[in-house]
Amino acid sequence: MNETVALLLGHRSIRKFKDEALTREQVETIVAAGQAASSSSHVQAYSVIAVTEKKLKEELSRLSGNQAYVYSCPVFLVWCADLSRLKAAAHKHRPGQETYEGSMENLIVATVDAALAAQNAAIAAESMGLGIVYIGGIRNQIAEAARLLGVPELVYPVFGMCIGYPDQQPILRPRLPQEAVLHWNGYDASTAEKQVARYDEIMSAYLRERTGGAKDTPWSELMADKLAQPSRMHMASFLRERGFGTK
């Protein structure tokens, strides 16, 4: 196993950070690593907003479900799907012609581009001795977050990312057995139930260790509970209002 694979396999989310600032150069290097990620047709349909101002982080923390680490981390990166540059390019070079920057396909492309770049950035940060945690809660009150950050039409915050020096060493969270996610030469649904049952036992043991015996809910039950509750049902209308998925 080489150092890169070891780093990837050792990933854990960090939610407690030391009171130690990051330099501008560190942030720019991390984002540069993100920019080196693959991008569909080289469209690079994302933007990153680096938030360091305490008041702004405090507001974003509140909008993200009062997650304290959004405020306490030295840098909060907001990764945005961004089709606004493509729209400007299309109108510049194809004036008066119908274009499709707001298509559902381009929404997918921009969202995937943002995710690929962010994961590159996450690994770069971890290679520098930093820790990260993704914040999907930025979508809890996404219209307010978008206004606060001043993002234009055809841009939306996909997720946030806290970055800083770790002040904790959480144990690794087990992933699904590889047999549940790796299929050879076609999708094999026959093993899913058996592998989920196996993973339920693994996660129950993990939760007992992590909580000192206070919790041991199986993974499948946690997922059932999650899906039984509506979550961010405002996203479809918000995206349409921003010009996404209109074609």
Which neighbouring-strand residues pair with 50?
77
pLDDT at 1 over 90: no
What number is the average pLDDT over the span 67-71? 96
Residues contacting residue 169 through CB under 8 Å, at least 6 positions apart: 12
Dig out the tokens for 63 from the structure: 């909008």
What number is the average pLDDT over the span 9-23? 97
- pLDDT category, 190, cuts 50, 70, 90? confident
> SS3 for 215?
coil
Residues contacting residue 140 through CB under 8 Å, at least 6 positions apart: 63, 64, 65, 232
Residue closest to 12 by CA, chosen among 127, 175, 133, 137? 133
- CA 209, 219, 236 angle in degrees (round to 5)? 130
Dig out the tokens for 107 from the structure: 């929404």
What number is the average pLDDT over the span 225-229? 96
Give the pTM: 0.95
CATH 3.40.109.10 fits 3-170+230-241, yes or no: yes
- CA 65, 70, 72 angle in degrees (round to 5)? 130
By the 8 A CB rule, do 26 and 128 touch?
yes
What number is the average pLDDT over the span 110-115? 98
* Cα gap 32→30, rounded to integer Å: 5
* Cα gap 239→102, rounded to integer Å: 10
pLDDT at 105 over 90: yes
Domain borders along the chain are 3-170+230-241, 178-216
Average pLDDT, the chain: 96
* Cα gap 103→118, rounded to integer Å: 23
* Cα gap 86→152, rounded to integer Å: 13
What number is the average pLDDT over the span 200-205? 96
DSSP 65-104: TS-HHHHHSSEEEEEEEE-HHHHHHHHHHSTTS---TTSH
- pLDDT category, 193, cuts 50, 70, 90? confident
Res 207: pLDDT: 94
What number is the average pLDDT over the span 209-237? 95
* Cα gap 123→108, rounded to integer Å: 23
Give me the count of residues in the chain: 247
> SS3 for 2?
coil
Res 65: pLDDT: 97
pLDDT at 157 over 90: yes
What does the pLDDT look like over 177-189, one tens digit per residue?
Answer: 999 999 999 998 8
